[in-house]
Amino acid sequence: MISKSPDRNTFQKNGYLSRMADKEQTPDNDANVAAMFEYYSNLNNIKMEREADPEWQKNNLEYDLRTTEWILEKVRASEPYAQNLYAAMCNRSFVRNDVWPILKQEQWSCSWRYAGGIVADMRQGGDYIDWYCSGIRDVEEEPYGYVPESVVTEEIQEDLLRLGWLVLDDKE
């Protein structure tokens, strides 16, 4: 089963509704606000349909991360490890450690926001914003072990390799 956060896709929806409420616009009194509310409310359903597609699951690091119990356990047990995995996904490309994906250059990558959402799903709580830009905050304020975005720690690299994925160099 694929790990997911019940809070995923709530940050933007709640922020939008709050901004509109400040203007006294709600889904009950404004058709545009109602349409946006419906859009945000349907994001998780659209995502679930996409994730059920076997084609989406192939050569997809997100799928492997969110369905592999040993790495889910590590992410759930350690906030610094979760942040390090988030950071490793930022500004990086990955390829399955297999002949055809390497030869065909079938790379996987995602945005910083999306990486944060993957980690939230893996931890089964929160949204992308809980991890987004976590590597550029003041180190003095953060728990020991956080790293900047795009840094791949040795532990993360080893775990991704165990999962069947290679981290590509910046030049590849």
Q: How many Cβ atoms from other residues are within 10 Å of residue 135's Cβ?
A: 21
SS3 state at 168? coil
Cβ atoms of residues 109 and 166 within 8 Å: no
- Say what the pLDDT of residue 171 is: 56
Closest CA to 96 of 158, 165, 6: 165
Boundaries of domain holding 65: 60-167
Strand partners, 165: 96
67: in domain: yes
Domain count for the chain: 1
- Residue 144 in this model has a pLDDT that exceeds 80: no
- Say what the pLDDT of residue 169 is: 80
- Say what the pLDDT of residue 15 is: 92
Query: What is the model's pTM?
Result: 0.89
Burial of 102 per CB tally in 10 Å (0-12, 13-18, 19+) = middle
Task: Tell me the percentage of the chain whose pLDDT exceeds 70.
Answer: 94
SS3 state at 127? coil
95: in domain: yes
28: in domain: no
43: in domain: no
9: in domain: no
